[in-house]
Amino acid sequence: MEAEAAGGAAGIYPVDILEDDPTGHQEASLAYYTSLGEGAGTPGIFTLPTGEQVNLETSSVCFCTVHRDKPQHKLLVLVSPQDTKTVVAVYLKESWWSTEDVLRTSDPTREGLVKVQSFGERIVLFILNVIIFGRLERSLDDDGMFFLPHSVKEQAKILWRNGAAVGFYSTKMKGSLCGNGTSVCYLLPVFDTVFVRKQHRHQGLGTAMLQDFCETFPEDEALGISSPISPAMYQVCRHFLLACPEERGRLWEVAPPGAWGQRVNIWLKVQLQQARLPEWRAVYPGNPEEDVSSPGQTSQDDGPTHGHKEQICGEELENTRNDQDCGVKEEDARLPGDTLLD
């Protein structure tokens, strides 16, 4: 039995047809996984857009946790036989879809920055964040940075371009919980995670997302960007603040919850960096490295979502070979980036 890449050829993509039914999706995936395990009939084969064929068997699939605060929301994925950390297809609507098709849309109204609302859009956000940025396109240029899976209610926008999702950004709202089991809330709106796919970089999209964030909160005197900020993102900030001097006093690099002692003015920092001055002690009360590794970084609930790889444990895709009942494991409750393969 051969499972061709579903839908794509017919111009239908999962984000346009998925119902808002994570539970139903979960049950269908589990039933399919069980049938694979029982080995009924001839094993199926999935043909990738490249023509490569992958056997559909339990040893080549695994479940990933989509939301860090909802370990029961799992996605069944197919991995490359050559590299079991590379996801090549996703099981949705009782079919396998290539990862690239999951990122496509046939809805012409999905263009530009669109707020993430539906279950299908949350899956697109997950694929972009964990599978594309976290695995496929992470490079030394990104300074080892990657983001944890977002929470189920994360405020985020996906950037759609010519029928495909090419980037996203997420926001922590003023007054929302910082996570880590505390009652501490963000004191200002914070631009928390941002990503643009490699082939779309250097075309102003990162800057456009930062601008969109600033325009969303015209009334706020201070706006944050989550620390640590990547070198590329500093360049985006510099670019943006050169063009929009009126925003220079408003943008701060922040650690949660963003009190005055946890803020550094980004324009000042950009200028100091350019002048190659030892800026930290002059402008940052306290040790910035300590703030970078604040407890929220590895929090499972609503804390900041980004950090550097070495600061976050358990980012391996969960291998169902060792998880035959597909139940929620203890690690699921413990690790935000629990989902992982090895």
Ligand X SMILES: CC(C)(COP(=O)(O)OP(=O)(O)OC[C@H]1O[C@@H](n2cnc3c(N)ncnc32)[C@H](O)[C@@H]1OP(=O)(O)O)[C@@H](O)C(=O)NCCC(=O)NCCS
Nearer to ligand X, 232 or 292 (CB): 232
Instruction: Please tell me whether residue 239 binds ligand X under the rule CB under 6 A.
Output: yes
3 state SS of 164: strand
Out of 48, 152, 232, 244, point to the residue binding ligand X (CB under 6 A).
Answer: 232
Nearer to ligand X, 14 or 228 (CB): 228
Strands 53-56 and 44-47: antiparallel
Instruction: Please tell me whether residue 196 binds ligand X under the rule CB under 6 A.
Output: yes
Structure tokens at 213: 């964030």
Out of 230, 265, 293, 319, point to the residue binding ligand X (CB under 6 A).
Answer: 230
| Per-position x/- string for 77-106, each x denoting binding to ligand X as judged by CB under 6 A, each - no binding | ------------------------------
Out of 168, 195, 213, 284, point to the residue binding ligand X (CB under 6 A).
Answer: 195
User: How many C-beta neighbours within 10 Å does residue 178 have?
Assistant: 25
Nearer to ligand X, 170 or 320 (CB): 170
Instruction: Please tell me whether residue 202 binds ligand X under the rule CB under 6 A.
Output: yes
Length of the chain: 342
| Near ligand X in 290-329, by CB under 6 A | 306
Nearer to ligand X, 91 or 252 (CB): 252
Out of 54, 236, 264, 340, point to the residue binding ligand X (CB under 6 A).
Answer: 236
| Segment lying near ligand X (by CB under 6 A), choices 122-130, 173-181, 203-211, 319-327 | 203-211
Q: Measure the CA–CA gap between 76 and 81, rounded to whole angstroms.
A: 16
Q: Measure the CA–CA gap between 106 and 93, rounded to whole angstroms.
A: 16
Instruction: Please tell me whether residue 207 binds ligand X under the rule CB under 6 A.
Output: yes
Q: Measure the CA–CA gap between 26 and 314, rounded to whole angstroms.
A: 22
User: Please, what is the angle between helix 266-274 and helix 231-243, to 10°?
Assistant: 110
What DSSP designation does 58 have? Answer: G
Instruction: Please tell me whether residue 273 binds ligand X under the rule CB under 6 A.
Output: no
Q: Measure the CA–CA gap between 17 and 105, rounded to whole angstroms.
A: 10
Q: Measure the CA–CA gap between 252 and 263, rounded to whole angstroms.
A: 6
Residue 289 C-beta: closest distance to ligand X, Å: 16
Out of 103, 233, 251, 270, point to the residue binding ligand X (CB under 6 A).
Answer: 233
| Segment lying near ligand X (by CB under 6 A), choices 57-65, 68-76, 235-243, 285-293 | 235-243
CA 147 to chain centre: 6
Tell me how many residues contact ligand X (CB under 6 A): 21
Structure tokens at 171: 């926001």
Instruction: Please tell me whether residue 229 binds ligand X under the rule CB under 6 A.
Output: yes
User: What is the distance in angstroms between the CA of the first residue and the CA of the last residue of the chain?
Assistant: 28
Nearer to ligand X, 36 or 145 (CB): 145
Nearer to ligand X, 195 or 252 (CB): 195
Phi and psi of 102, rounded to 5°? Answer: -65, -25
What DSSP designation does 5 have? Answer: P
Residue 225 C-beta: closest distance to ligand X, Å: 7
In sequence order, the 6+-apart residues with CB closer than 8 A to the CB of 281 are none
User: What is the CA angle 127-149-106, rounded to 5?
Assistant: 25
Instruction: Please tell me whether residue 145 binds ligand X under the rule CB under 6 A.
Output: yes
**Residue numbers at the binding site for ligand X (CB under 6 A):** 141-142, 145, 194-196, 201-207, 229-230, 232-233, 235-236, 239, 306
